[in-house]
Amino acid sequence: MSSKLTELTSNNVVWHNATVTRARREAQNNHRGAIIWFTGLSGSGKSTVAHAVEEALHQQGCRTFVLDGDNVRHGLCGDLGFSEKDRQENIRRIGEMAKLFMEAGIIVLTAFISPYRGDRNRVRGMVGQGDFIEVYCDTPIEVCEMRDVKGLYKKARAAEISEFTGISSPYEMPETPELLLNTGADSLDRCVQEVMANIAKLGIFTSTHLNQDFEVKNQYQENGTQL
């Protein structure tokens, strides 16, 4: 799939530079803004891990927000379907919104299948070096189908859903993600620890508690949430 997309800018507009800059916001937050982009098949654990990482970051005093694939289609992207063109526009909108969150000094975690490598690379190109952290939730499709929490794979196999990623629509795996999570086998806690350690290493935030068991583990276990 081509990664070329014309930059959209309205006519007769001039960019207004703010006095409160990203650097000042980050200094106030005591951490960098960043985009942590979770990608993978439906059922691979993207949303579960993203929200668990957000909980862990929140406990560290970080300012965060999760953009979830299903949630944004209730409003911002509710007018889009699942054709290749609509998927491209969906990720373009999310990329622009994630960039705004990042410039506000917030750690924004996005959980989207985002099946096309070109779309993900285009979002990476919207921001500076080190601002986009791609996290591939690697789960075999057989495991995703076995989980099938939403019953979508069953519908896709019965041809009740068209253009379903992994069944009737392609998924292009990341070639060099910043982090690969084995969400098909590893525990939620281990995945959270890996993400936290990775983003701390990248200097997004500083923590002296990376070896502790985050309370998020117990919270998610109590709610019956697992990968």
Task: Report yes or no: 89 and 148 within 8 Å, Cβ to Cβ.
Answer: no
Q: Retrieve residue 192's tokens.
A: 């959270």
The reply to whether 114 belongs to the active site is yes
The CA distance from 101 to 118, in Å, is: 22
Return the C-alpha torsion angle 81, 47, 29, 199, nearest 10. -110
Of 166, 96, 161, 107, nearest in space to 131 by CA: 107
Task: Report yes or no: 117 and 1 within 8 Å, Cβ to Cβ.
Answer: yes
Instruction: Given the residues 114, 162, 168, 187, select the one marked as catalytic.
Output: 114
How much of the chain is in helix, strand and coil states, percent to nearest 5? Answer: 40, 10, 50
Q: Which of the residues are catalytic?
A: 114
